[in-house]
């Protein structure tokens, strides 16, 4: 399973890249707005920090402008996955860019029917937003189960399920049980994955007991 970080904060990306566990980055207009940075410059810098796909979202909603924006974003780096909304125009852009060899991440997916459309449009990734579904009293992880089941029935569907709007470690664990290909998580959620009180307690005991031996492993 691949781990992407859902942030446009360069320092967070650098820190998490240092763990060796990061496979890519997703951004969106809200995350970019928080940084106050120039979008194109920021995305180019992110691409230099990470080895895997970097999702960069178009700003327009009409086909022509989205297409032009997508081509411009794709020209920044072969690592760019152009992010388009799950609309008829977005899927048309997805089909064209994918046919040209550009990775496309179809975002704002909230139903299995939409995920089927994204796969048919040749998306490299589809992003179902589990947290936002939970927020409105709908089972976000149920949607992931449905999409994984449907995609597994059609070997010609090569779209990867990118679980988005992840709010806590159990979203990630459930996504992994279901066989989702990728989860994109805010930095704070990735950090939570490492923690367990018994790990901290156990380590403190081992350190204390080792000191009692009076030994060192290294000279
Ligand atoms: C995914 O690509 C989105 O950027 C993201 O996961 C949205 O998450 P949110 O619902 O926490 O804003």
| Domain extent at residue 105 | 2-213
Residue 149 placed within a domain: yes
pLDDT one-digit tens code per residue, 5-26? 999 999 999 999 999 999 999 9
CATH number, residue 51:
3.20.20.70
Taking all residues of the chain, what is their mean pLDDT, rounded to a whole number? 98
Residue 96 placed within a domain: yes
Residue 13 placed within a domain: yes
Residue 218 placed within a domain: no
* Average pLDDT of the segment spanning 54-65: 98
Q: Is 127 in the pocket of ligand 1 (CB under 6 A)?
A: yes
212 a catalytic residue = no
| pLDDT band with cut points at 50, 70 and 90 for residue 60 | very high
| Amino acid 152: pLDDT | 97
| pLDDT band with cut points at 50, 70 and 90 for residue 190 | very high
Q: Give the count of alpha carbons within 13 A of 170, CB side only.
A: 4
| Amino acid 36: pLDDT | 97
| Amino acid 218: pLDDT | 97
Residue 209 placed within a domain: yes
Q: Is 102 in the pocket of ligand 1 (CB under 6 A)?
A: no
Q: Whose Cα sits closest to atom 8 in ligand 1?
A: 165
| Amino acid 126: pLDDT | 98
As a whole-number percent, the residues of the chain with pLDDT over 70 amount to: 100
Residue 95 placed within a domain: yes
Distance 201 CA to ligand 1 centre (A): 34
**H helices present in the chain, as ranges:** 10-17, 29-35, 39-49, 63-74, 88-99, 112-120, 130-135, 140-152, 169-178, 187-194, 197-213
**Separation of alpha carbons 95 and 93, rounded Å:** 5
Residue 93 placed within a domain: yes
* Average pLDDT of the segment spanning 89-105: 98
Residue 186 placed within a domain: yes
The tally of domains found in the chain comes to: 1
Testing ligand 1's pocket by substitution, the residue of 84, 126, 131, 183 carrying the most ligand atoms inside 8 A of its CB is 131
């Amino acid at each position: 399973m691949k781990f992407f970080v859902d942030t446009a904060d360069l320092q967070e990306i650098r820190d998490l890249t240092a763990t060796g566990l990061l496979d890519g980055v997703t951004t969106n207009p809200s995350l970019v707005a928080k940084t106050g940075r120039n979008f194109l410059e920021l995305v180019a810098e992110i691409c230099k920090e990470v080895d895997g796909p970097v999702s960069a979202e178009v700003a327009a909603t009409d086909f022509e402008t989205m297409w032009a924006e997508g081509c411009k974003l794709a020209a920044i780096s072969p690592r760019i996955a152009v992010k388009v909304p799950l609309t008829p125009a977005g899927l048309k852009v997805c089909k064209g860019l994918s046919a040209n060899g550009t990775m496309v991440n179809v975002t704002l997916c909230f139903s299995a029917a939409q995920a089927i459309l994204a796969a048919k449009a040749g998306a490299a990734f589809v992003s179902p937003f589990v947290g936002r579904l939970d927020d409105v009293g709908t089972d976000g992880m149920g949607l992931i189960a449905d999409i994984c089941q449907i995609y597994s029935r059609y070997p010609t569907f090569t779209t990867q399920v990118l679980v988005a709007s992840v709010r806590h470690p159990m979203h990630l664990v459930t996504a992994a049980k279901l066989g989702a290909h990728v989860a994109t998580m805010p930095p704070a959620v990735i950090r939570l994955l490492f923690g367990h009180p018994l790990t901290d307690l156990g380590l403190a005991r081992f350190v204390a007991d080792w000191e009692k031996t009076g030994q060192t492993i290294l000279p």
